[in-house]
Amino acid sequence: MRFSRGQHVSNGATAAALCVLLVCAACNRAHKTTIAVIPKASADIFWQSVHAGAVKSGWDNKVDIVWDGPPNETDIAGEMQIMETMINRQVDAIAVAPSDRSAFKIVVDRAAAARIPVVIYDSGIDSERYVTFVATDNYAGGELGADRVGKILGGKGKIVMIKTTPGGASTTAREDGFRHELHAKFPAIQILDERFGMASIAQSLTVTENMLTAHADLNGIFCSNESGTEGAAQALKERGSKVKLVGFDSSPVLLDELQAGWIDSVVIQDPFKMGETAVDEAVKAVHQEKTPKQIFLPPRLVNAENLNNSDVHAQLYPDLAKYLGSPGS
């Protein structure tokens, strides 16, 4: 059969177009949505639980999770550099827990300019260019801590606060909630001193020792994060002190000290749910689905009375090995 020149050109163009379509289809099949999840730190059990929740959401939504964070919460520049790397990598979305609310405005705005949806979790930020904010109701958590201190001290006494780091939105909200609730409901309880533990167990230990020495008539301590609570508990234990300690967050060490009586109670979050929700919302943003501007997760007070309740136990002990693998695996 003979074809005209026009027929040859037409058939060739059709074949070329078909090849392009097949290549594009293959590219679409090969692309898998990638969500970067950036914590403030990577070592604490809190952040490991966030990681596990993020992985669960990744499995459920069939997306890849890239987890990367600095070694500690004071490495603001390191965390910002990780976010810059994820922007340059052109991931589909980023979920980040900003370690400083003002410093992170620059990188969050840059991600938004690159059309990368950003979910903020754990701590707030001085920017509106994010799709969703997922966090514990930290102010309410501080109020829970104040109510517990007021109860165990009988509404009167002298206490100190071990704060976390300057500029951390989540811990600042806890400290504000604690302070305001205490002043409103328990005016006979005096806050003698407030110092930063700088998200360090060792520094929190030293700060606690110094305040115990400076205030021999101290009745109570409130700490606004895990490392501060652990450092304070260690100081009380070493001195055999009867000062009452109310802290924030949970870890195997903190729960052991709670059972031993060195810690009266801790206000806990649900970091697993936080990580899961942050990734869920990031996936929605990638698909251009509507997302709420903020999602608050309720805090919970845990003490010796409810420690072994089934719902508390499930929140305290998520199956990290299931999602993150066993150590060394």
What is the Rg, in whole angstroms, of the alpha carbon atoms belonging to the chain?
Answer: 25
My answer on whether 211 and 224 are in the same domain is yes
My answer on whether 129 and 160 are in the same domain is no
Q: What is the pLDDT of residue 259?
A: 96
My answer on whether 276 and 264 are in the same domain is no
Residue 129 maps to a domain: yes
Secondary structure letter of residue 126 according to DSSP? S
Instruction: Kindly list the averaged pLDDT for each block of 10 residues, start to end, along the chain of length 329.
Output: 46 48 48 96 90 98 98 95 98 98 96 98 95 97 99 98 93 98 99 97 98 98 97 98 97 95 98 98 98 97 96 92 73
Which residues, 6+ apart, have CB-to-CB distance to 112 below 8 Å? 118, 129, 130
My answer on whether 151 and 94 are in the same domain is no
Q: What is the pLDDT of residue 281?
A: 99
**Identity at 209, one-letter amino acid code:** E
My answer on whether 130 and 145 are in the same domain is no
Q: What is the pLDDT of residue 44?
A: 82
Q: What is the pLDDT of residue 81?
A: 98
- Listed in order, strand segments (DSSP E) in the chain are 34-38, 64-67, 93-96, 118-121, 132-136, 157-163, 189-196, 220-223, 244-248, 265-268, 294-297, 300-303
Domain count, the chain: 2
Q: What is the pLDDT of residue 3?
A: 44
Residue 171 domain boundaries: 138-268
Residue 26 maps to a domain: no
CATH number for the domain that contains residue 197: 3.40.50.2300
- Of 98, 73, 108, 45, nearest to 268 by C-alpha is 45
Phi-psi label, residue 325: left if phi above 0, alpha if psi -120 to 50, beta otherwise: left
Q: What is the pLDDT of residue 43?
A: 79
My answer on whether 127 and 222 are in the same domain is no
Opening angle at CA 297, ends 291 and 302, nearest 5: 170
**Do 320 and 293 touch, CB atoms closer than 8 A?**
no
Q: How far apart are CA 229 and CA 221, in angstroms?
A: 9
Residue 148 maps to a domain: yes
My answer on whether 87 and 162 are in the same domain is no
Q: What is the pLDDT of residue 10?
A: 47
My answer on whether 214 and 276 are in the same domain is no
Residue 245 maps to a domain: yes
